[in-house]
Amino acid sequence: MTNTDLDPQVLADKLAGLRDRYHQLTAARDTIDGELEEIKAAIRDLVPEGKHPAGDGEVTVTPNRRFDEKKALKLIPAEVLPVLTYPETRVHKDALRDLLPDVYDAAQVTYTPRVSVK
């Protein structure tokens, strides 16, 4: 629902105030996001992967790995490729993990560990 009864100058002033507040909040969010990332990096530097007590809560550092299908396709031996793919370019990840666990592990891409704070 729009308010068409407002004087154009009053409307422009209200919009300017809302725009300014929006930009203030965006800047604050960027600052907060940056500080949160610094805290997560400090936690990663302090403790290994796993759950760790933190006062009345805990912090958890977990691996962050993703399966890279293109990488897997290059690593799967040609003789089993038809069994592990569909139609030709998709990999049955579960079957690959069961049949060729070393290839499955080699097809993982590792990223910065995740941090959860509770």
In the numeric block, the tokens 């004087």 are attached to: 7
The tally of domains found in the chain comes to 2
Q: Which residues span the domain enclosing 36? A: 1-46
pTM: 0.67
Q: Half-sphere exposure of residue 10, counting CA atoms within 13 Å on the CB side?
A: 5
Which tokens sit at 84? Answer: 């592990």
Question: For residue 60, what is the enclosing H or E element?
Answer: strand 57-67
Q: Are residues 57 and 41 in the same domain?
A: no
pLDDT, tens only, 20-61: 999 999 999 999 999 999 999 999 999 999 999 999 999 999
How many whole angstroms separate alpha carbon 81 and alpha carbon 76?
Answer: 6
Residues with Cβ < 8 Å from 13, sequence gap 6 or more? none
Q: Are residues 104 and 117 in the same domain?
A: yes
